[in-house]
Amino acid sequence: MFNLFKRKAKDFFSPQEKELIVAAIKKSEHRTSGEIRVFIESECTAIDALNRAIEVFEDLEMYKTEQQNGVVVYVAIKTRKLAIYGDKGIYERAGEAFWDKQVEKMIHFFKKNDYAEGIATVVEEVGEALRTFFPYDKENDVNELPDDIVFGN
């Protein structure tokens, strides 16, 4: 039997699944000044996925958003770890319960092996939270970060 978890992170999703995730990022960011990145890697060597998500957040220089409203969705496929990390501006406004709910939602989708849909759904819900607190300003908004999926090792 073919094992999905033996594939490299960049090959884990089909082209259609990658497009689903990227479309969710673009749709979400079109309604907010916030920035969302999705980072996928094979293994998380950190003890805590949240610590790794923070590391990724910093490596991607997401802290440079003007309104501190960047969010990274982190998934390690083989080690089955995930986390969502939001910069200070959005994290505090949305509240801890919101972030916990989004992690639980991704876990629910992942248990059904519906990884792309789980990530896309959470990206859209994070986008709604960003829209609420950081609405899109067509006069001044600049896409500060790329909308693609970032693949690690």
CA distances from 119 to 22, 113, 122 (A): 10, 11, 5
pLDDT at 143 over 50: yes
Provide mean pLDDT across the span 14-40. 94
Domain ranges of the chain: 4-151
Give the Cα separation of 134 and 67 in Å (integer): 8
Fold classification of 4-151 (topology level):
Diaminopimelate Epimerase; Chain A, domain 1 (3.10.310)
Cα–Cα nearest to 37, from 151, 133, 114, 153: 151
pLDDT of residue 61 exceeding 50, the answer is: yes
Whether the predicted pLDDT of 148 surpasses 50? yes
Considering the entire predicted model, what is its pTM? 0.90
Section 68-88 average pLDDT: 95
